[in-house]
Amino acid sequence: MLDCVSAGLMSATPLPSAPRTIAATALHNDALPRTALGAAIAQAAHLFHWRQNPNYTAANMGAAFMAGYGYVEFAGPKEALFHAPDIRVGLLLLGRHLHYPPHAHPAEEIYHPLTEGGLWRRGQENWRTVPAGRAIHHPSMVVHETKAAESTLLALYCWRGNTVTEAQLTT
């Protein structure tokens, strides 16, 4: 998958996307790891066009979830810093104690948590804590969910395959 993502990034073209903040953006700085990657993200943050899945609303997710959830895409087919039709690469932000409920999407996905303490689950597997930097793989259409613990969860993600179809709740 990394070869596919690398190739997609190499062919990506810049998009004139205006920066955009959402309520969850306020959580971003506190979640950044104290690493070179965290510093690079902080330097680029003024360019970010934060979004939320259009399938998620306060009615089906709750107001607290919507206030603490968002993502920014560095490369992808829509509203990303760089247009890349075959991949999506970005950051997921999930406020403390929030539960991103079971959902699925046709794209294959890999997460790399940048913060500690998040819980991850696929299907009916047990919840597991995944250390920062460790890969989490979700094959296409595999139901998965995430919980932020005592601190805001920030994770790098990569999608490949059908990158246009957004995640759908499965509950």
Q: In this predicted structure, what is the pLDDT of residue 109?
A: 97
The average pLDDT across 46-63 equals 95
**Residue 93: pLDDT above 90?**
yes
- Which CATH number fits the domain that encloses residue 7? 2.60.120.10
Q: In this predicted structure, what is the pLDDT of residue 117?
A: 87
Tens digit of each residue's pLDDT (9 = 90 or more) over 2-26: 565 555 555 666 666 678 899 998 8
- Which band of pLDDT confidence, cut at 50, 70 and 90, is reported for residue 161? very high
Count of domains in the chain?
Answer: 1
Q: In this predicted structure, what is the pLDDT of residue 55?
A: 96
Domain that holds residue 83: 2-169
**Residue 166: pLDDT above 60?**
yes
Alpha helices by DSSP H, listed for 53-155, are 58-61, 63-68
**Residue 51: pLDDT above 90?**
yes
**Residue 104: pLDDT above 70?**
yes
Q: In this predicted structure, what is the pLDDT of residue 102?
A: 97
Q: Say which range, 15-29, 49-63, 67-81, has the weakest mean pLDDT.
A: 15-29
Q: Give the integer Cα–Cα distance in Å for 20 and 41.
A: 15
Q: In this predicted structure, what is the pLDDT of residue 127?
A: 97
Q: In this predicted structure, what is the pLDDT of residue 116?
A: 92
Contact indicator for 148, 97 with CB cutoff of 8 Å: yes
Contact indicator for 142, 168 with CB cutoff of 8 Å: no
Q: Say which range, 14-23, 31-40, 116-125, 154-163, has the weakest mean pLDDT.
A: 14-23
